[in-house]
Each structure stands twice: as C-alpha cells, then as structure tokens.
Amino acid sequence: GAVVSQHPSWVICKSGTSVKIECRSLDFQATTMFWYRQFPKQSLMLMATSNEGSKATYEQGVEKDKFLINHASLTLSTLTVTSAHPEDSSFYICSAQLGGNTDTQYFGPGTRLTVL
C-alpha cells in the first residue's frame, strides 16, 4: 500500500518551454502532497505544500509563478515548470501524506528534468 507514482520519469526540453510533472497516489487519498527538488548528493529541499482544492504554500525563495502547482483531486497533484531554464534542471520528487494519525510521507520515484 501507499504507492505514489510520477510521470514522466525523465524529460528533456529546450530552454523557454514549459514542463508538467504529474504526481498520483495510487491506492490512497492524499489531502496533502509535497514537491521537492534534489541536486546531486544534496538533501531534498521542500518547494511547496499542496492541499487538495486550495492554493499551494510555497517555501521562501521558490517562485510561485514559475513553479505552478495544482492539486485538483485527492489523488493527483501537478507541478508545471514554466519557461524552464538550464538552472531548473534537477530531480523533482513528490510525496503524499497518508493523513489520519500518521504524518509519514510516501515518495514518488522522481522526475529527472534536463533543460537544454
């Protein structure tokens, strides 16, 4: 149980284009989903917290107009990197919180974004 999927697993795009990454909780409903980015040999850095049906809460330093997050249902959150640039190249990982009495987050497999 508690499986989270991400799509695509990797994407290469040209500078200036937009890329959408999907995060789905497959066997549970997640009222809260999180988006992280991870640079090589670095820790996961929280970008934003996404609650179903409401606006995402962004961490300090994360541009909300650049990283658009939509949490349209209890099983789906999307992250759109708008007008991507090479410095946006990174490993993007989502997680979903099971809710209830546990705060444990279950992570997706990640999406490797390379912007040329």
Partner 1 sequence: EDQVTQSPEALRLQEGESSSLNCSYTVSGLRGLFWYRQDPGKGPEFLFTLYSAGEEKEKERLKATLTKKESFLHITAPKPEDSATYLCAVQSNRDDKIIFGKGTRLHILP
Interface residues with partner 1 (CB under 8 A) are: 2, 4, 6, 32, 34, 41-44, 46, 49, 91, 93, 95, 102-110, 112
Instruction: Pick between residue 55 and residue 112 the one whose CB is nearest to partner 1.
Output: 112
Minimum CB distance to partner 1, residue 52 (Å):
15
Q: How far apart are CA 35 and CA 58, in angstroms?
A: 10
Q: Residue 86 is encoded by which pair of tokens?
A: 């090479």
Shortest Å distance, C-beta 98 to partner 1: 10
Whichever of 42 and 83 has its CB closer to partner 1, that residue is 42
Residue nearer to partner 1 on the CB measure, 70 or 99: 99
Give me 40's structure tokens. Answer: 């090589």
Q: How far is the CB of 23 from partner 1 (least distance, A)?
A: 10
Query: What is the rounded distance in angstroms from the CA atom of residue 20 to the CA atom of residue 18?
Result: 7
C-beta of 46 vs 68, nearer to partner 1: 46
How many whole angstroms separate alpha carbon 17 and alpha carbon 29? Answer: 31
Amino acid in the structure at residue 87: E
Structure tokens at 59: 């961490």
